[in-house]
Amino acid sequence: MKVKVKLYTILKKYAKGKILGDGSIILKKGATLQGLTSDYLAIPDSIGVVFLVNNTPQDKDYTLCEGDEVKIFSLICGG
Protein backbone atom coordinates (compact mmCIF):
# COMPACT_ATOMS: atom_id res chain seq x y z
CA MET A 1 0.00 0.00 0.00
CA LYS A 2 1.38 3.38 -1.00
CA VAL A 3 0.68 6.56 0.94
CA LYS A 4 2.18 10.01 0.67
CA VAL A 5 3.93 11.32 3.77
CA LYS A 6 5.17 14.82 4.52
CA LEU A 7 7.17 15.58 7.66
CA TYR A 8 7.72 19.03 9.15
CA THR A 9 10.48 20.86 11.04
CA ILE A 10 12.38 18.56 13.41
CA LEU A 11 10.70 15.46 11.96
CA LYS A 12 12.19 15.91 8.50
CA LYS A 13 15.29 13.92 9.40
CA TYR A 14 13.19 10.81 10.00
CA ALA A 15 12.27 10.74 6.29
CA LYS A 16 15.82 9.98 5.21
CA GLY A 17 16.06 6.62 3.47
CA LYS A 18 12.44 5.79 4.21
CA ILE A 19 10.33 8.14 2.17
CA LEU A 20 10.79 7.83 -1.56
CA GLY A 21 11.65 10.68 -3.90
CA ASP A 22 8.01 11.19 -4.84
CA GLY A 23 7.14 11.69 -1.16
CA SER A 24 5.54 8.28 -0.76
CA ILE A 25 6.16 5.27 1.45
CA ILE A 26 5.13 1.66 0.97
CA LEU A 27 3.27 0.22 3.98
CA LYS A 28 1.67 -3.10 4.78
CA LYS A 29 -2.09 -3.11 4.38
CA GLY A 30 -3.79 -2.21 7.65
CA ALA A 31 -0.96 0.00 8.89
CA THR A 32 -2.00 2.69 11.35
CA LEU A 33 -0.56 6.14 11.93
CA GLN A 34 1.04 4.81 15.12
CA GLY A 35 2.67 2.03 13.11
CA LEU A 36 3.84 4.51 10.51
CA THR A 37 5.61 6.68 13.07
CA SER A 38 7.02 3.93 15.29
CA ASP A 39 7.72 1.03 12.95
CA TYR A 40 8.46 2.72 9.64
CA LEU A 41 9.79 6.18 10.53
CA ALA A 42 11.17 5.40 14.02
CA ILE A 43 10.03 8.70 15.50
CA PRO A 44 10.55 8.45 19.29
CA ASP A 45 7.44 8.53 21.51
CA SER A 46 8.96 11.42 23.42
CA ILE A 47 8.24 13.70 20.46
CA GLY A 48 4.60 14.71 20.46
CA VAL A 49 3.16 14.60 16.96
CA VAL A 50 -0.08 15.60 15.27
CA PHE A 51 -1.48 14.01 12.13
CA LEU A 52 -3.49 15.32 9.26
CA VAL A 53 -4.70 12.72 6.77
CA ASN A 54 -6.08 14.26 3.61
CA ASN A 55 -6.11 17.52 5.58
CA THR A 56 -8.31 16.11 8.33
CA PRO A 57 -7.03 15.58 11.90
CA GLN A 58 -6.74 11.89 12.77
CA ASP A 59 -5.77 9.96 15.89
CA LYS A 60 -2.77 7.62 15.95
CA ASP A 61 -4.98 4.51 15.71
CA TYR A 62 -6.35 5.61 12.32
CA THR A 63 -5.94 2.87 9.71
CA LEU A 64 -4.34 4.17 6.56
CA CYS A 65 -5.73 3.56 3.08
CA GLU A 66 -4.07 3.42 -0.33
CA GLY A 67 -3.42 6.93 -1.64
CA ASP A 68 -3.82 8.71 1.69
CA GLU A 69 -1.84 11.92 2.08
CA VAL A 70 -0.37 12.13 5.56
CA LYS A 71 1.16 15.21 7.15
CA ILE A 72 3.00 14.74 10.44
CA PHE A 73 3.82 17.75 12.58
CA SER A 74 5.86 17.91 15.73
CA LEU A 75 5.22 20.60 18.30
CA ILE A 76 8.42 22.28 19.36
CA CYS A 77 6.28 23.88 22.05
CA GLY A 78 8.10 27.15 22.32
CA GLY A 79 6.60 30.61 22.39
Give the footprint of other proteins on this chain (CB under 8 A): 8-10, 45-48, 50-52, 55-57, 71, 73-79
- The values of phi and psi at residue 4, to 5°, are -90, 140
- Nearest one of 71, 73, 79, 17 to 47, comparing CA atoms: 73
Say if residues 7 and 69 touch (Cβ distance below 8 Å).
Answer: no
